[in-house]
């Protein structure tokens, strides 16, 4: 029987079965083909969606806008600070208002509880565009990118996450690995591991999918035989600026270097959700270089720019996969 996700919210991958994730990936591939061949797919004409951002964004915002417009939807963007939400109007009231005007709501913000509450009160599908805990739409793009880069497709690859392994992206990567049978290795200092409860849940899921979940503090051990090495920035949105010094000290040994990539499989790829501090061409990157003398943070520029890097393919796939989520839940 064909899967039906109509009316569902997309809040975290723990809510979806491996078959449902597979369905969204297959749909993403269809949409990618249509986009690349110029085949119109305005299947959602007459629908309207709203994008609520309480944190900044390039990829997620643009992916939702382009995906929504390609599907024929009306799209409204509310930037951080330009809606009443949280300041003059409760989340509950905002959700009830938006649910009466729009067919779907994207939300990027702080606690996971907020996006869950918007879904509960609005009565329309809500899509999580990143919270402090999870970034589920990113994962669909990441898994699609892995599929596209290995002739075997998704096939129990060894997937290594280096760095702040308790952030939103790392949490979600661990969940998707557990659901789809990847061998996930979180490589990080002890105090940057995900919550014990989430690790336990993922270990149980991995036991069913033929994957595994492991942690190590040793980058060389993690990189050995890796198929994918992934990293993210060391300080996430919403964290205080004064944490940079501590993080740099803790995470410098976990920078993805050429030397580390050489320990991985010959065909290994490098991935990053972006944005990335791989040089000093950003205000933050320049400031960190001035304060701490660090010119490349989570990844060396040579790796970011290397033939093994798939970061821009991954970024493009955000749009195709987000289109699949909008379509599957609204059509
Ligand atoms: N990867 C990602 O979510 O990027 P943005 O913050 O630019 O949306
Ligand atoms: N962990 C990062 C991801 C950005 C896409 C953050 O939350 O800032």
Q: Beta strands of 144-272 (E only): which ranges?
A: 158-162, 183-187, 212-216, 228-231, 269-272
The atom of ligand 1 lying closest to the CA of 108 is 8
pTM value is 0.97
> Which residue numbers are catalytic?
108, 135, 138, 232, 273, 318
Count CA within 13 A, CB hemisphere, residue 131. 22
- For ligand 2, is residue 128 a contact (CB within 6 Å)? no
Which among 125, 65, 128 is positioned nearest to 99, based on CA atoms? 125
CA 6 to chain centre: 22
Strand partners, 48: 74
Measured in Å, residue 316 CA sits from the centre of ligand 1 at 11
Identify the helix (H) or strand (E) that includes residue 66: helix 59-70
- For ligand 2, is residue 170 a contact (CB within 6 Å)? no
d(CA 66, CA 63): 5
Tens of each residue's pLDDT in the chain, 331 residues: 578 999 999 999 999 999 999 999 999 999 999 999 999 999 999 999 999 999 999 999 999 999 999 999 999 999 877 888 888 998 889 999 999 999 999 999 999 999 999 999 999 999 999 999 999 999 999 999 999 999 999 999 999 999 999 999 999 999 999 999 999 999 999 999 999 999 999 999 999 999 999 999 999 999 999 999 999 999 999 999 999 999 999 999 999 999 999 999 999 999 999 999 999 999 999 999 999 999 999 999 999 999 999 999 999 999 999 999 999 999 9
């Amino acid at each position: 029987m064909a899967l039906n996700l109509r009316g569902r919210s997309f809040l975290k991958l723990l809510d979806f079965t491996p078959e449902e994730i597979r369905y969204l990936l297959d749909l993403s591939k269809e949409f990618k083909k249509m986009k690349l061949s110029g085949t119109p797919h305005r299947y959602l004409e007459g629908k309207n969606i709203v994008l609520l951002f309480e944190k900044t964004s390039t990829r997620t915002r643009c992916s939702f806008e382009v995906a929504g417009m390609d599907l024929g939807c009306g799209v409204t963007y509310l930037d951080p600070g330009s809606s009443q939400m949280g300041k003059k109007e409760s989340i509950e009231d905002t959700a009830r208002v938006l649910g009466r005007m729009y067919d779907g709501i994207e939300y990027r913000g702080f606690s996971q509880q907020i996006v869950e509450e918007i879904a509960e009160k609005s009565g329309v599908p809500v899509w999580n565009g990143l919270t402090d805990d999870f970034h589920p739409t990113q994962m669909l793009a990441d898994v699609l990118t892995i599929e596209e880069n290995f002739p075997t497709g998704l096939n129990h690859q060894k997937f290594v996450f280096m760095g702040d392994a308790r952030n939103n992206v790392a949490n979600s990567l661990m969940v998707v690995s557990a659901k789809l049978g990847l061998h996930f290795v979180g490589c990080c200092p002890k105090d940057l591991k995900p919550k014990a409860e989430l690790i336990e849940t993922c270990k149980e899921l991995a036991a069913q999918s033929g994957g595994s979940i492991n942690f190590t503090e040793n980058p060389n051990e993690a990189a050995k035989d890796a198929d994918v090495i992934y990293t993210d920035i060391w300080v996430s949105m919403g964290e205080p600026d004064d944490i940079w010094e501590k993080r740099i000290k803790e995470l410098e040994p976990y920078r993805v270097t050429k030397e580390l990539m050489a320990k991985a499989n010959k065909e290994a790829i490098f991935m990053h959700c972006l944005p990335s501090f791989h040089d000093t061409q950003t205000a933050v990157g320049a400031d960190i270089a001035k304060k701490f003398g660090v010119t490349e943070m989570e990844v060396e520029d040579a790796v970011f720019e290397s033939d093994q890097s798939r970061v821009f393919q991954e970024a493009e796939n955000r749009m195709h996969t987000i289109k699949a989520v909008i379509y599957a839940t609204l059509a």
